[in-house]
Amino acid sequence: MLTEERHQLILAAVKDEGVARTFDLCRTLGVSEATVRRDLERLDQLGLIERVRGGAVAPRRHGRPEVDHTPFSLSSTAETAQKRTIAQLAAGRVIDGDVIILDIGTTVAAMCPLLRERRITVITASLAVIQELADCPSIDLIILGGHHRPTYSSMVGPLTEHALSQLRAGTAFIGCSGIESSGAVLDTTPSEVPIKRLMLENAQQAFLLADAKKMPGEGVMEVAPLSRFRALVTDQTPHHLSNYFSSLADNLTPEVIAP
């Protein structure tokens, strides 16, 4: 198969699925991983794709943010018991006077009903968080502007990133779409990844909120290694997770907060 033919097939896969994984491309194109990587590097240089961990995604444009395969309204109704459990554990780490960052995921948003009586400052780009906490007189809301992502009720993009870069917080509560046994924390949405990284950088500590199904979960972009987080808040038992993360060195194994 000619190089140009491979490139066209790769671009078609990215356009149709939103993401193309290296393993799948090797199988579809019948070529080696090294060949696929060279193709991806070339297409990335041309601005036709964006290379990410394990494959490629469509390049970010100055247009509408990417559409989520599962909108916020549906995701928020899935695994509700697990989300409530995790939210209760995470909210227990918040005390009056705290300045916290709340990420834009559904598990993090589940913390909001438990925070309504606290005297805290909340920084967020989540419209769901804003709607839940806007009428709470004891909560100061700092709202991050940006490009509205309607399918996930959030703000993303350079304006959001710039606003967040100017702020500092004591604690960030962050979600993800997957955690590999190697400790890589993953996400499926390219526009969210730089925001999550800024949350980690600008908070004194961060808690990762993830239920057991997100181990390994999914994702093509690495947010950060698990060791960057103060703890993993989950619905799974620490014994199970010690087996899952058995390949990590002791100093990289996270503290686990679980029922």
pLDDT of the chain, 259 residues: tens digit per residue: 788 788 889 988 887 777 889 989 999 999 999 999 999 988 887 777 888 888 888 776 555 566 555 666 667 666 688 999 999 999 999 999 999 999 998 999 999 999 999 999 999 999 999 999 999 999 999 999 999 888 778 999 889 999 999 999 999 999 999 998 888 999 988 889 999 999 999 999 999 999 988 888 888 789 999 999 999 999 977 566 767 777 666 656 678 898 8
The token duo for 209 is: 């909120």
Number of domains comprising the chain = 2
pLDDT for position 89: 97
Cα(184)–Cα(181) distance, integer angstroms: 7
Number of other CB atoms surrounding residue 28 within 10 Å: 14
pLDDT for position 217: 83
Where b means 16+ CB within 10 Å and e means fewer, 177-194 reads bbbbeebbbbbbbbbbbb
Q: Are residues 134 and 233 in the same domain?
A: yes
The token duo for 36 is: 């696929």
Q: Are residues 149 and 253 in the same domain?
A: yes
Q: Are residues 159 and 204 in the same domain?
A: yes
pLDDT for position 3: 84
For 166, phi and psi rounded to 5 degrees? -90, -5
Cα(228)–Cα(105) distance, integer angstroms: 19
**65 is a domain residue:** no
- pTM given for the model: 0.74
Q: Are residues 197 and 243 in the same domain?
A: yes
Domain of 84 in residue numbering reads as 72-257
Cα(51)–Cα(44) distance, integer angstroms: 6
**25 is a domain residue:** yes
